[in-house]
Structure 1
Amino acid sequence: MDKHERIKQKAVELGFLACGISAAGYLVDEKERLRSWLAEGMNGEMEYMARNHEKRLDPRLLHEGTKSVISVLLNYYPKERQLDPEAPVLSKYAYGTDYHFVLKDKLNELLKFIHDEIGPCNGRAFVDSAPVLDKAWAVRSGLGWIGKNTNLISVEHGSFFFIGELLVDLELKTDDRIVSNHCGNCTRCIDACPTKAIVAPYVVDARRCISYQTIEQRGEIDKTLEGQFKDRVFGCDICQDVCPWNLKSEPHEEPAFDPHPRLMELSRLDWQNMDESLFAELFRKSAVMRTKYSGLMRNLKFIGKS
């Protein structure tokens, strides 16, 4: 196998669903879309989206010497479901250990393999915590297309996966396959969004998005959205749950993403009576820690009004 195939094979061995490689460069097509989205204020309080604008469009400015972008997908579709149908709904991605740690550890293993087995290189792993347009690079690497809900969708795997990338200073063979858009005339995600956050095909106004309001929003939740959250307490999977491509989703095999044993058993009353000690026990390593106990209580109070 050549270097390109050896890297992709190692990625699969590490548990990634898929891996693709693209040449680092300027994201011309994304420039106007990003500018327009920011100009409309659709980023809400996510001011970091407006910073480092040029670095978002050109990873060579983010990591010196970058020649190739290696994109990976990591499945998080759960084996289990919350048992109480009346319980507040937690987004599937937050069931287990915070994906930033799990994905970055695997990416650093892949980087070490490249350095040791492919050739000496300088590289850096990125997982949704730096100005990198993950989905754009995944598209360039042939891993899927951007759906009308703005999620990356894979023909083989649906969309319940995390995206990460390595920026490396090696010039590698690229995956030139561009996956065509398979959304067709389907509007299920648009129709299903209870807050109408998908304001147009391929455009999401974060300010109306349940995930934004329950995670990113630092102050009070927008009162005009009261009664529209469908019991979502942290994040929201509605647009993914209705997507026909997610009929292909299969349970992950990553132990770190398995939920705390008590989490799936919580009743609606258990959630409402949760104290800080239980919160710490259930979510000690979870992405839910981002919103803190006070934020989760805010969210529970808000959905309790519906």
Structure 2
Amino acid sequence: MDVLKADNYKQQIKQKALELGFEFFGVAKAEFLEEEAPRLENWLNQQMHGQMAYMANHFDKRLDPTLLVPGAKSVVTLMMNYFPQRVMDVSDNYKIAKYAYGKDYHFVIKDRLKSLMQFIQETVGEVHGRVFVDSAPVMERAWAKKSGMGWIGKNSLLLHKQRGSFFFLAELIIDLDLPPDGPVKDYCGSCTRCMDTCPTEAIPQPYIVDARKCISYLTIELKEQIPDTFEGKMQDWIFGCDICQDVCPWNRFSKPHKVDEFLPAPDMDNLNRNDWQELTEEIFRTIFKKSPVKRTKFEGLKRNIQFAAAATQVVKGN
């Protein structure tokens, strides 16, 4: 394809993405992720993925986008901000990660991705591809980094110079050859706040997260009882955790999102500590019907609340 024509298509797609509510847009060439291969293999060999067996599945597909979309030429990465307009009251209350305040992002973003894919086909012609929102073996942060969206922080999250890290990533893998964007440098420098502040010591070395110690993993992915070794270390988190993001200096640049679907459900916003502890399955189903929190199921959330409540009682008892 003619270079000018390809660049023109890219600009049109980018403009449409912005209209759909995505804040940033980047393109990388669809090729094997050579740098990521040994890192992923080493991480898996050390069993740092814990019970997330799916992380060990489809190893080759995670690294090679052409195995997901035959003939793929470009990986388009999109970013959607979810930093809240107002942080929920956590004074003497249980906490949930900011990304779970509103409607499940999978549904919010996938609909918009499908609209973008339809626009590409209407604008360019016959283009084949797939849309991905954290639901397939796609190394989204690696692709975001390659497309110039930001750099991988020491907490393993993607950091953007103007937005920090409170955003969702999504991808289009397509057989349209678009001009790629270059990567940016790592701006973490000597900062280790995310590592130093993690109460469960889940970041043993820069850029490596041991999921087995991560509060997000313990409250969402772990299906068994939370080990007693973490008692008193969870800091009242009952679904996910934002500690390593909250302390990151780059998140001082975070700006409130403009996506209505990410606003907190009123009933959830009003829950106090007693309400959480007395939560029934019926109320759970009502409040979290369209929320990411439903991923833990009622039993999982009650387990998290009970674990946090027990730790609080121990502290008060002392």
Cα distance in structure 2, aligned partners of 1:122 and 1:301: 48
Q: Alignment partner for residue 62 of structure 1, among 68, 75, 95?
A: 68
Q: Which residue of 2 aligns with 1:122?
A: 128
Q: Which residue of 2 aligns with 1:31?
A: 37
Which one is further off, 276-285 or 41-50?
276-285
Give unpaired runs (5+ residues) of structure 2.
1-6, 312-318
Q: Alignment partner for residue 300 of structure 1, among 296, 300, 305?
A: 305
Cα distance in structure 2, aligned partners of 1:62 and 1:209: 29
* TM superposition shift of 1:276: 1.3
* TM superposition shift of 1:106: 1.0
Given that 1:81 and 1:264 are in contact with CA atoms closer than 8 Å, whether structure 2 keeps it comes out as: no
Q: Which residue of 1 aligns with 2:243?
A: 238
Q: Which residue of 2 aligns with 1:140?
A: 146
DSSP 3-state at the match of 1:203: coil
Q: Alignment partner for residue 96 of structure 2, among 86, 90, 93?
A: 90
Q: Which residue of 1 aligns with 2:224?
A: 219
DSSP 3-state at the match of 1:73: strand
Give TM-score, length-normalised by structure 2: 0.94
Cα distance in structure 2, aligned partners of 1:17 and 1:281: 31
1:163 equivalent to 2:169? Answer: yes
DSSP 3-state at the match of 1:304: helix
Q: Which residue of 2 aligns with 1:12?
A: 18
Q: Which residue of 2 aligns with 1:154?
A: 160
**How many pairs align?**
305
Cα distance in structure 1, aligned partners of 2:270 and 2:90: 7
Q: Alignment partner for residue 281 of structure 1, among 280, 286, 295?
A: 286
DSSP 3-state at the match of 2:244: helix
Given that 1:84 and 1:265 are in contact with CA atoms closer than 8 Å, whether structure 2 keeps it comes out as: no
Cα distance in structure 2, aligned partners of 1:80 and 1:222: 33
Identity score, percent: 51
CA RMSD of aligned residues (A): 0.9
1:258 equivalent to 2:279? Answer: no
1:75 equivalent to 2:90? Answer: no
Per-residue CA deviations over 1:23-61 (Å, capped at 9, x if unaligned) read 100000000000000000000000111110000000100
Q: Alignment partner for residue 196 of structure 1, among 198, 201, 206?
A: 201
Give unpaired runs (5+ residues) of structure 1.
none
Moved over 3 A (4+): none
DSSP 3-state at the match of 1:69: strand
Q: Output the amino acid matched with 1:74.
A: M
Q: Which residue of 2 aligns with 1:229?
A: 234
Given that 1:84 and 1:268 are in contact with CA atoms closer than 8 Å, whether structure 2 keeps it comes out as: no
Q: Which residue of 2 aligns with 1:207?
A: 212
* TM superposition shift of 1:84: 4.8
DSSP 3-state at the match of 1:172: coil
Q: Output the amino acid matched with 1:244.
A: P
1:48 equivalent to 2:54? Answer: yes
DSSP 3-state at the match of 1:214: helix
Classify 1:237/1:41 alpha carbon distance in 2 versus 1 (closer, same or farther; 3 Å): same
Per-residue CA deviations over 1:111-131 (Å, capped at 9, x if unaligned) read 111110123211110011110
Cα distance in structure 1, aligned partners of 2:8 and 2:54: 39
Q: Which residue of 2 aligns with 1:21?
A: 27
Q: Which residue of 2 aligns with 1:267?
A: 272
Q: Which residue of 1 aligns with 2:254?
A: 249
Cα distance in structure 1, aligned partners of 2:59 and 2:215: 25
Which one is further off, 260-269 or 283-292?
260-269
Q: Which residue of 1 aligns with 2:4?
A: none
Per-residue CA deviations over 1:122-179 (Å, capped at 9, x if unaligned) read 111001111000000000110000000000000011100000000111111111x211
* TM superposition shift of 1:65: 1.9
